Amino acid sequence: MLLVSALVLLACTWRPGIAARPASEPPAFDAALVQQGARVAALGLCANCHTARPGAPFAGGFKVATPFGAVYSTNITPDRATGIGTWTQAAFVRAMRDGVARDGSHLYPAFPYDHYTRLAPADIDALYAFMMTRTAIHAPAHANDLIFPLGFRPLLAGWKLLFLDHAPVPVNTAQTVEWNRGAYIAASMGHCAACHSPRNALGAVDRKDFLGGGEAEGWYVPALNGKSPSPVAWNRDSLTAYLRSGIAPAHAMAGGPMQAVTASLGAADPADVRALATYIVSLMGKPAPAIEQRALDAAHRPVALAAAPGGTDAAARQLQLGQRVYADACARCHASGRTPGSGGALQLPAAIAVYDPDPRSLIRIVRDGIAPGPAEPGRWMPGFAGILTSEQISALAAYLRHSAARQAPWNDLEKRVAAAEKDDRQ
Amino acid sequence: MSQISLTINGRAHSVDTDPDTPLLYVLRDDLHLNGAKFGCGLGQCGACTVIVGGNAVLSCLIPVSTIGTRPVTTIEGLGTAARPGVVQQAFIDEQAAQCGYCIAGMIMRAEALLQHDPAPADDVIRSQMALNLCRCGTHMRILRAVRRASDKLKGRA
Amino acid sequence: MSGALNAGRRLLLKAGGALTLAFALPRLALAADAAAPTLPGSLKKQPLLDGWIRIGADGSITVLTGKVELGQGIKTAIIQLAAEELVVDPARIHLITADTARTADEGFTAGSHSMQDSGTAVRNAAAQVRVILLDLAATRLHAPVTSLGIRDGVVTGPGGAKVGYGELVRGQELHRTATETSVLRPPHHHFLMGRAFQRVDIPAKVTGGAAYVQDLRLPGMVHARVVRPPSSDALFASTDQNGAAAMPGVLTIVRDGRFIGVVAQREYQAVKAAAVLAAATRWTAGATPAAAELHRAVEQMPSEATTILERGTAGQPGRTFSARYRKPFQLHGSIGPSCAVAQLEGGKYTVWTHSQGVFPLRQALAELVGVDKESIHCIHVEGSGCYGHNGADDVAADAILLARALPGQPVRVQWMREDEHGFEPKGPPMASSVQATLDASGQIVDWAYAVWSPPHNSRPGTAGNLLAGTLLAAPFPVPPAVPIPQPEGGGDRNAIPLYVLPNARVVHHFIPVAPVRSSALRSLGAYHNVFAIESFMDELALQARADPVAFRLRHMQDARARDVMTLAARQFGWDAYRPQVGRGRGFAFARYKNLGAYAAVALEVEVARDTGWVRITRAVVAVDSGEIVSLDGIRNQIEGGVVQSCSWTLCEEGLFDAAGQLTTRDWAGYPILRFPQVPDTVHVHVIDRPGQPFLGTGEATQGPTCAALANAIFNATGARLRDLPFKPAKVIAATQLARRT
């Protein structure tokens, strides 16, 4: 009886394969449609996951670390042997809406079809036109490395049953056209919630805490809703500029996974990015006036950070150590009025990472620094992994939390610092 | 100024300097070690690369106050002109230098890489060495020298 | 024998039992006024043999050259030449490079002249010294010269008789004028020239030996940093020195107009004090013309036109095509920012400098501090690669001004990264227009080329060519820039193609005032002109439906040029090449200055349209440098030139903001090529021409690599890029416009 049930369930997970697109039909698409598709791809950040090295765009091989193991992105160039060259438009649409590959296998939601499913048909069609006109690159897929038994794809049918919602993005008639455009982009192409929302134990985006903060690649990803930790309020202009360039002067620098996001959005239609910013800003909470005032003051009239408390208890000693580390290693660039190199270093009372509920982003910034892409000019903070010990990074983070953010200490700081060091050793 | 104790190339040193002094200046000015070079002081070029606690580190960024007991290795600790170390010899064999200013940093980065991974793939060598700049365009020889050193360490040369 | 010895500076050095007489060398004028115009190479400027070669009682050999090591391997090559002609173990040779008190004045080590000028002089001097030594030995050993042999500095005669060089030279035997011809050792006897010989400077450089001016440590030496205005025309408003002056270790702060320097006991004290002083100093915007000029097209800047080629008749019938090419400001970007040490003692200055020209520098420094040049001794010590006129001379000026403020103490000035990027003289922006007519058979029957360029030479000379000289309260005027005449040229270097063009016109529009100081950057105008000409040759070949290599060969008669072109094409596998998707091949040729080395470059690129990523996969270069001295030296320079040119071409542009301030002040703002983007292979094939003069090689591949890249990108994508650099955004935009199936 159990066996029959299992077989019935398995049968329910089955999806048919779709016939290959004949090789004799070379794809021909309207140039305007391809251009529209380029805009969708830029907003959809396709290249970010599907490009492992700049010489092979969309050829896959990028490792996405999840709590369930590693998933490697696939080759979505129109190569017939190793990419999606044999995919008809119908197969492509099904993948985007339902997370099913041409051969009927289920796709892991590391590919965010739970967001792309909300794309308007015209946008998916345009994206198909764009993808099928890229340079075909021969690059076989890299096998995933998932915890047993998650490599068994039919299990995903159950996941989708629970979590895949095809409902389109509702239009809010009380808001402007631009706001609605932004809402649509955020929920579909931009898939912001994929990083900026928490996920449940089964790895699905928690829709009840929309944009309430999440994680990606060892970073804490800040909340964009009422819980936004930014000490300086974002406005439409500043957020648009940041999303398009990665820099909001005296306010924020895109680091880690956000760098590739802003690089991709920089190539998108500026009006679309502005719409996205309009929508996101409307959701964001505002900082407490005292915090904002202090942050703005620091940005425009640099002030020294508060001294560590005296005392011999462990907490005080840690803050004293942090203060020394800051003075010796960081102050040279981050302290009052210094502008080394091609741009200034952020005044830390204005830095979002020290206000995060979670120290992971600060730890990653300190360890990795922030550097521009190859052959691209930009701002450069060096990484201090190897320079500072875990004890020193913990102390520095605690000190910045205390003196720059003036928030309650992070209670899992040393654990997070150790975890970051362990991740880097692999 | 304070007395800071450091272990450099296996020897204990005590220097009287400001605690925020980057290691680079102590190596060059107090200990008269020429290998690590001033290239930018901003952590962008790698000419100052040394090894601290087993990791390749930019000596222009690491303040002496943070080093503690972690051992520091500079190029002088790898070998001498009379008896070069494996990586140094590989650079000599490949004549991997034009002006040579970046080379000590390159050798230290390569040494750290090979200590962690004695047989790195070509693309790993490229990405690991990427922080080190060479302005003369000696890259091809540098890559060959690292490969040569790796082969030697694996006993294949 | 020159009679113009400066008796006041004669020094006697005892070395064992023999005397080596060291004279202050007669101040001979430079090329225009050479003392001995028919002698080979720089013997024209210094005709005395012991101005080049000296032999000690112990057989040690000192070779002197007025050229300097820039990382191009010149020290090694000169030792090879001298040791070859003298038949000695090269380890015996002690080489002294440019030093105003000791060596010949060979001007600048630049323009790829070192082998042609100094190498030739040393080789001939050594050969003539060898002959003199053999004559002396013949007398000593009572044997005919023809019966003598030499082995490592020892002359051997019949019956086992022998005498070492050190015993032969007792007095002034080498103090004589060179002759016009020399008995050079024949190629089949060569044991060093053309043979594998490791660079003499590499062992120290890979083991932490002292090798650079940055490594100098002198007793009592103190450390300095400069505080510079935000842009070259910014005006000084105010400063508050109190904060910096009170900092630990600060010895003095010098301010003279816009020149500001701080000197401290310890180096990092100077760094910190300078940062504090900079933060306490206010500047105001300077005159606006410079800032406005910076954003103007080069062709619109005031210029003086010179026709440098006028051949045949214009207006030939056929199909006419035209194109424009341009390049931006580019930086030398020396990896080690410039550094100098200066000391004032007993009324005399000693300056340790990595300047390319210690003699002209001395003259400028003398004017700067108001002394005669005999009071200044400039000694060259190697710096990092300079690739032309970088901050080396300027930092020497900073050092001498600060040394003047602290008599007795050696003052070391180290520029910071932002100082070097910010204030090094830049490679200027350039533009050219090309127009050509093809006849029915696809042959070029008419050619017109025009190039616009600011100056490529602002070298000292005078105190007005030194940055500090222009910052003083009573500044020295910047001398008007003068174009470098053909056949070498500046902005018009390599503007005249080597191809057979029966009807051709070339015009050089010299822009005398650059919006920002511009000067010589490796290959000068050749990088841009060869980019333009060799890109256009491909564009014409396409119109003529001809293979790019075949098209060039159809227009080339110079046999050595044809040889390098066919060799590069063959080694690349040009004829059999079939491009894969995303890849393409490109070819280019030039003879540097039409006087130096011949180089042909064939390369393959990979181009990713969606990321704008361009990378050379493999490059093949064929080069003819005349007679080979150091094969590996040639290869190293050629490989390096390919990679550096690739960096310039794909990544590099100096950018300024609306206020005229350079925004690309470090490697973050001015990225250069890094390891992930360098080629898989660069293979260099060198054609040896025994008996032919040495040809300067160090700048031979800058231009051809650039054009070959442009041509390969076109082959891969159908996108023709004419606007340097080929940054990712430009490549993406151009390849989207030119989709190729």
C175: domain CATH number is 3.30.365.10
Between CA C721 and CA C735 the distance in angstroms is 9
For tokens 């931006």, the residue is C328
Note whether B138 and B115 are same-domain residues: yes
Nearest chain C Cα distance for residue B101, angstroms: 5
On whether both C11 and C138 belong to a single domain, the answer is: yes
The span from the CA of C151 to the CA of C136, in Å, is 16
Return mean pLDDT, chain A: 92
Residue A294, in any domain of the structure: no
Give the pLDDT band of residue C132 (cuts 50, 70, 90). Answer: very high
Residues B70 and B110 in one domain: no
In terms of domains, do B50 and B95 share one?
no
CA nearest to C459, candidates C358, C337, C599, C594: C358
Same-domain check for residues C502 and C415: no
Identity of the residue in A134, A342, A343 whose CB atom sits nearest the CB atom of C610: A134
Under an 8 A CB cutoff, do B97 and C206 touch?
yes
One domain, residues A159 and A20: yes
One-letter amino acid of A209 = D
pLDDT of residue C307: 98
pLDDT, tens digit, 9 for 90 and up, residues C265-305: 999 999 999 999 999 999 998 775 566 778 789 999 999 99
Domain assignment present for B80: no
What integer pLDDT is reported at residue C33 of this predicted model? 47
Output the CA–CA distances (angstroms, integers) from residue C568 to C574, C587, C634, C684, in the order listed.
8, 9, 16, 9
Between CA A147 and CA A145 the distance in angstroms is 7
What range does the domain containing C349 cover? 214-285+332-423
With 70 as the cut, is the pLDDT of residue C15 above it?
no
Asked if C675 has any chain B CB less than 8 Å from its own CB, the reply is yes
CATH label of the domain that carries residue B107: 1.10.150.120
Q: In the predicted model, what is the mean pLDDT of residues B55-79?
A: 98
Q: 3-class DSSP state for residue C678?
A: coil
Would you say residue A70 has pLDDT above 80? yes
Residue from the list B19, B55, B68 with its beta carbon closest to the beta carbon of A386? B55
A386 touches chain C (CB under 8 A): no
Nearest CA in chain C to B108: C206
C664 touches chain A (CB under 8 A): yes
A319 shares a domain with A229: no
Band of pLDDT at residue A270, cut at 50, 70 and 90: very high
Residue C3: the pLDDT is 37
Domain identity same for A151 and A193: no
At C346, list the tokens: 């007993």
The count of other CB atoms within 10 Å of the CB of residue C658 is 10
My answer on whether A43 and A127 are in the same domain is: yes
* Cβ burial, residue B122 (10 Å; 0-12/13-18/19+): exposed
In terms of domains, do B141 and B105 share one? yes
Q: Is residue A9 part of a domain?
A: no
Domain boundary among A111, A137, A163: A163
Same domain, C618 and C726: yes
Q: Do C614 and C719 meet the contact criterion of CB atoms below 8 Å apart?
A: no
Domain count, chain A: 3
Q: What is the C-alpha separation between A393 and A385, in angstroms, rounded?
A: 9
d(CA C704, nearest CA chain B) in Å:
16
Which chains does C contact via 3+ CB–CB distances below 8 A? Answer: A, B
Kindly state whether residue C673 falls inside one of the protein's structural domains.
yes
Q: pLDDT band for A339, please (50, 70, 90 cuts).
A: low
How many domains does chain B divide into?
Answer: 2
Q: Given a cut of 60, is residue C76 above it in pLDDT?
A: yes
Phi, psi of C150 (to 5 degrees): -130, 140
User: Is the per-residue pLDDT at C321 higher than 60?
Assistant: yes
Task: Using the predicted structure, report yes or no on whether residue A3 has a pLDDT greater than 90.
Answer: no
Considering B16, B41, B74, which residue would you say is the last residue of a domain?
B74
Residues of C in contact with B39 (CB under 8 A): 335-337, 417
Chain A interface test: which of C611, C678, C735 (most A C-beta within 10 Å): C611
Residue A343 — very low, low, confident or very high, per pLDDT cuts 50/70/90? low
Quote the tokens at residue C152. 């490592």
**Quick check: B43 and A369 in contact, CB under 8 A?**
yes
Q: Tell if the CB–CB gap between B39 and C335 is shorter than 8 Å.
A: yes
The answer to whether position C318 is within a domain reads: no
* Two structure tokens written together for C513: 């005032």
Same domain, A153 and A23: yes
Cβ–Cβ gap A369/B43 under 8 Å: yes
The Cα angle at residue A341 between residues C236 and C246, in degrees rounded to 5: 55
Chain C residues within 8 A of A341 when measuring between CB atoms: 417-418, 665-666, 668-669
Q: Cβ of B74 and C208 within 8 Å? A: yes
Q: How confident is the model at residue A378 (pLDDT cuts 50, 70, 90)?
A: confident
Per-residue tokens: C605: 């690129």
pLDDT attached to residue C34: 61
User: How far separated are the first and last CA of chain B, in Å rounded?
Assistant: 49
Domain co-membership, C262 together with C183? no
Which of B20, B57, B61 lies nearest to residue A327, judging by beta carbons?
B20
Is there a domain that residue B119 lies in?
yes
Position C738 scores a pLDDT of 77
CB within 8 Å: C206 and B41: no
**Do C20 and C68 fall into the same domain?**
yes
Q: Do residue C375 and residue C439 come from a single domain?
A: no
Q: Do C611 and A377 touch (CB under 8 A)?
A: no
Whether residue B54 sits in one domain with residue B117: no
Among the ranges given (A87-101, A108-122, A300-314), the one the predictor scored with the smallest mean pLDDT: A300-314
| B53 and B112 inside one domain | no
Confirm whether B81 is domain-assigned. no
Residue A340 is predicted with a pLDDT of: 55
Q: Is residue C345 domain-shared with residue C438, that is, in the same domain?
A: no
**Same domain assignment for residues B70 and B90:** no
Q: Please tell me whether residues A370 and A413 are part of one structural domain.
A: yes
Residue A102 amino acid letter? R
C405-450 pLDDT tens trace: 999 999 999 999 999 999 999 999 999 999 999 999 999 999 999 9
Chain C residue numbers touching A336 (CB-CB < 8 A):
279
Percent with pLDDT over 90 in chain A: 77
pLDDT on residue A302: 72
| Domain shared by A262 and A370, yes or no | no
The domain boundary, picked from C398, C423, C448, lies at: C423
Q: Is residue A1 part of a domain?
A: no
Give the pLDDT score at C741. 37
Q: Is residue C468 part of a domain?
A: no
* Long-range contacts, stretch C404-409, CB < 8 angstroms, 24+ apart: C404/C344, C404/C349, C404/C369, C405/C252, C405/C254, C405/C263, C406/C222, C406/C251, C406/C252, C406/C263, C406/C344, C407/C344, C407/C345, C408/C220, C408/C343, C408/C344, C408/C345, C409/C220, C409/C221, C409/C222, C409/C343
Task: Classify residue C249 as left (phi > 0), alpha (psi -120 to 50) or beta.
Answer: left
Mean pLDDT computed over every residue of chain C: 92
Residues of B whose CB is below 8 A from C668: 42, 44
Over residues B44-53, the pLDDT tens digits come to 999 999 999 9
> Final residue of a domain: which of A228, A254, A283?
A283
Give A-chain residues touching C617 at CB under 8 angstroms: none
Residue C580 lies in a domain: yes
Task: Tell me which of A230, A258, A283 is where a domain ends.
Answer: A283
- CA atoms C19, C25, C31, C35: torsion sign: negative
Decide if C678 touches A, using CB distance below 8 A. no
Q: Is the pLDDT of residue C10 over 50?
A: no
Would the CB atoms of C611 and A372 count as touching at under 8 Å?
A: no
Q: Which stretch of DSSP H or E encloses residue C341?
A: strand C339-345
CA distance A171 to A425: 47
Question: Coil, helix or strand for C425?
Answer: coil
Contact: A378, C275; criterion CB under 8 Å: no
**Element housing A258 (H / E):** helix A257-265
Confidence check: pLDDT of C29 > 70: no
Q: Are residues B7 and B70 in the same domain?
A: yes
Strands C61-64 and C93-96: parallel
> Are residues C685 and C702 both part of a single domain?
yes
Instruction: Report pLDDT for C289.
Output: 58
Tell which residue, C357, C400, C409, has the closest CA to residue C376.
Answer: C400
C148 and C268 fall within a common domain: no
User: A382 and B61: CB-CB below 8 Å?
Assistant: yes
User: In this structure, is the dihedral angle defined by the CA atoms of residues C466, C467, C473 and C475, taken in order, positive or negative?
Assistant: positive
**DSSP characters over A101-133:** -TTSPBPPTTS-HHHHTTS-HHHHHHHHHHHHT
Judge contact between C385 and C483, C-beta under 8 A. Answer: no
Higher pLDDT, A6 or C382: C382
How many structural domains does chain C have?
3
Model confidence band, residue C591 (pLDDT cutoffs 50, 70, 90): very high
The arithmetic mean of pLDDT across residues C139-162, rounded, is: 93
In the structure encoding, which two tokens stand for residue C234, read together? 């910014």
**Is C470 a member of any domain?**
no
Residue A170 included in any domain? no
Residue located via tokens 């004293």: A320
Establish if A295 belongs to a structural domain. Answer: no
Q: Note whether residue A326 is domain-resident.
A: yes
Give the 3-state DSSP-derived string for chain B, with helices as H, strands as E and coil as C.
CEEEEEEECCEEEEEEECCCCEHHHHHHHHCCCCCCCCCCCCCCCCCCEEEECCEEEECCCCEHHHCCCCCEECHHHCCCCCCCCHHHHHHHHCCCCCCCCCHHHHHHHHHHHHHHCCCCCHHHHHHHHCCCCCCCCCHHHHHHHHHHHHHHHCCCC
**Boundary residue ending a domain (C408, C423, C438):** C423
Residue C22: pLDDT band by 50, 70, 90 thresholds? Answer: very low
Same domain? B53 vs B109 = no
List all residues 6 or more positions away from A226 whose beta carbon is below 8 Å from its beta carbon: A283, A284, A285
Q: By CA distance, what is A390's nearest residue in B?
A: B66
Residue C479 maps to a domain = no
This model of the complex carries an ipTM of 0.97
**Is there a domain that residue C603 lies in?**
yes
pLDDT in tens, A9-41: 888 888 999 999 888 767 789 999 999 999 999
Residues B66 and B96 occupy one common structural domain:
no
Among B74, B102, B121, the domain-final residue is B74
Taking an 8 Å cut-off on Cβ atoms, the answer to whether C667 and B127 are in contact is: no
Please report, for the domain that includes residue A29, its CATH number: 1.10.760
Q: Greater confidence, A6 or C496?
A: C496
DSSP-derived pairing of the beta strands C304-311 and C504-510: antiparallel
Contacts of B75 in chain C (CB under 8 A): 206-208
**Residue B11 and residue B50 in one domain:** yes
Does the residue A169 lie in any domain?
no
Closest among C494, C326, C344, C455 to C406, alpha carbons compared: C344
pLDDT tens across C533-587, in order? 999 999 999 999 999 999 999 999 999 999 999 999 999 999 999 989 899 999 9
Residue A380: closest CA among A388, A391, A368, A372: A372
Contact (Cβ atoms closer than 8 angstroms) between residue B149 and residue B90:
yes
The mean per-residue pLDDT over the stretch C197-214 comes to: 96
Q: Do B75 and C203 touch (CB under 8 A)?
A: no
Q: Which domain, by its residues, includes A144?
A: 15-163
Question: Is the pLDDT confidence value at C195 over 90?
Answer: no
pLDDT score recorded for residue A208? 92
Q: What is the pLDDT of residues C326-359, one digit of tens each?
A: 999 999 999 999 999 999 999 999 999 999 999 9
A56 with A98, same domain: the answer is yes
Residue B97: which domain range?
86-153
Domain boundary (B47, B74, B101) is at B74
Per-residue pLDDT band for A158 (boundaries 50, 70, 90) equals confident
User: Is residue C503 domain-shared with residue C630, that is, in the same domain?
Assistant: yes
Q: Name the phi and psi angles at C269, rounded to 5.
A: -60, -40
Please name the amino acid found at residue A55.
G
Residue type (1 letter), A18: I
